Chains A and B, each alone.
Chain A
Amino acid sequence: MDTRSILAGLRRMCGILGYFRKTPGSDDQLGATMLSMLEALGRRGPDSAGVALVGPVHRASYIVRIQAGDELDLSQQAIAENREAIETFARGLDNSSNVSSSGVYVRFLLAGDIDLPALTSRIESLGEGIRVLSVGHAMELSKEVGSPRLLEGKHHISAFAGTHGIGHTRLCTESIVDLSHSQPFWGRGAADVAIVHNGHITNYHQLRRKYEQRGVGFVTENDSEVLAVYLAEALNRGATLRQGLDGVLRDMDGAFSCLAVTATEMGFVKDPYAFKPLVVAETDDFVAVATEEIAIRSAIPGDYKVSEAQVEEVRVWSR
């Protein structure tokens, strides 16, 4: 195993969070709230931060977000070449629009029906190190090496208006911090699905081998990824998010608090041993979930109760 995979297998110190607006309409403070929660959760300068935010649904189009390359792996020049290749490809599609780039990221809209796996492979074959971060009618995933402040600087999270989202901070133990090991993970192969995970899936290798035998690919050595793969498969098969999360409880072993989003829902599942903390605050207006209460209190004022989720608890909120 190379150094990367050894490092990725480490027990990371993670914090996860989620926010779901219950009232109708879009919340123009969604991004700002998520950012506050991220900052409160990251102790002493986390090494990576990421969010999957669900905005207004683009019924007719998919939002495609791509990372042109990891700055730790590729030279600036290689990344620039990748970015150009992606932009050229995107502009060359009949049904694309709004192609834009920022740093190592490219974003564009794609109308109509698409073969998601085919598109993903196509884009990733444009250059070494290209990674599709997320595809969805409403969901956009951003993650960055560094603090939430840096995430904000590069992606302007605080300007995002939407209905719900999940986030993750990681205090990592590696000297090399790698974006592909950061979270959230997009459920590749399914639109609008992302997860964040705190804990360690102890039957990860076994599960991964089963998937790979069936031709399902993994892009990192991070065990959290198997949750994204699992849910994407479940949803593609027609299961609901609730059913998918129930399945996680049945089929995954180890410690997990896992939060997931789809275009219309947010849900969580907690492992049978309560190894990983997860607290929940719910009012008529919102639901906030986080690894630590301090993340919720710091971001959301008000007099509301916060309680710890129970073992084997699965909850889903829908819009």
Chain B
Amino acid sequence: MVEIAATAIDAATLSTREVNALMRARLESGSTEICVENPNARHNLAVALLRPGRVRFLGSVGYYCGGLMDGAEIHVEGSAGWGLAESMSQGHVVVHGGAGNGAAAAIRGGTVVIHGDAAARLGVSMKGGLVLVAGDCGYMAGFMGQKGTLVVCGNTGQAFADSMYATTCYVGGSIGALGTDAVIEPLSAEEAATLDGLLAEHLPAELRAQKPAGRDFKKVVAGRKLWNFDKHNWKAWQDAL
């Protein structure tokens, strides 16, 4: 497939609808690398990208960048707003800066990598996939996480991994406070090795070097006390509902 020489799309002169339409058209005609200049933290950029290909934003993006994605790749050189890659089924999203609330909300697959910090509700309701934050994360990360893997190399905020189903979380720094029904479990040697592999694969070398080794991560999963109503667990339910 011929890589169509990518002149960058200048978002400054185009509406969001036009930027997205141009992006999709290029992806459809086989372009594998698209640059967008001056995204200027606008919302809804690269929503519903359904074809393989890489989009690079030379700046910050606003809300829902990469939302509803199936199979593309997005790199954001600045920061991202709320709902980064929300509901993504497959694909790869990397943010060099930080991400706002609800990053990787409800993703069903794919990977979301944040080099900076993530704000509140990272990976909320996630249904699969991998979320990896090199920095810290904020309040209620992993809330109601159903499946998939959440890795935070730095510190977490309060209510970490609150009310989860079957998402597995790993924390390299300190845990601000565990959420309702979140428990720490021992980390196996295999998991430590897997973590080392993930960090090596997804983070640039200098960044990875600043982060803990796989074996120093803590593993957090659901205690399962909220999975079924049970009067003997009244204390847990009082906080949960």
Measured CB to CB, the residues of A under 8 A from B are: 272-274, 277, 279, 292-294, 296-298, 305-311
Contact = CB atoms under 8 A, between A and B. Distances in A.
A308 B116 CA distance: 11
B19 to A, nearest CB: 14
B194 interface: no
Nearest to B158: A311
Contacts of A297: 40-41, 59-60
A308 B40 contact: no
B207 to A, nearest CB: 15
Interface of B is mostly: loop
16 contacts: A273-B120, A274-B101, A274-B120, A274-B138, A274-B139, A277-B82, A279-B81, A292-B41, A292-B62, A293-B60, A294-B42, A305-B79, A305-B98, A307-B116, A308-B99, A311-B139
Contacts of A311: 120, 138-139, 157-158
A296 to B, nearest CB: 8
Contacts of A272: 139
A277 B41 contact: no
B119 A294 contact: no
B117 interface: yes
Interface in B3-47: 40-43
A310 B157 contact: yes
B97 interface: yes
B157 A305 contact: no
Interface residues of B, number: 26
Contacts of B116: 305, 307
B121 interface: yes
Contact of B138 (A277, A279, A293, A310): A310
Nearest to A272: B139
A307 B136 CA distance: 12
Contacts, number: 69
B100 interface: yes
B139 A279 contact: no
B139 A277 contact: no
Nearest to A309: B119
Contacts of A274: 101, 119-121, 138-140
Given A274-B119, A292-B81, A310-B138, 5 more contacts: A293-B81, A294-B43, A305-B97, A306-B97, A311-B138
Given A273-B139, A311-B120, A311-B157, A293 B98 contact: no
Nearest to B42: A294
A309 B101 CA distance: 10
A272 B62 CA distance: 23
B60 A308 contact: no
A292 B82 CA distance: 10
Nearest to B80: A293
A313 to B, nearest CB: 9
Contacts of A298: 40
B42 A307 contact: no
B171 to A, nearest CB: 17
Contacts of B40: 294, 297-298
A267 B52 CA distance: 45
A309 B40 CA distance: 19
A310 B139 contact: yes
Contact of A294 (B41, B97, B157): B41
B60 A306 contact: yes
A293 B82 CA distance: 11
A307 B42 CA distance: 15
A249 to B, nearest CB: 13
Interface in B37-67: 40-43, 59-60, 62
B75 to A, nearest CB: 17
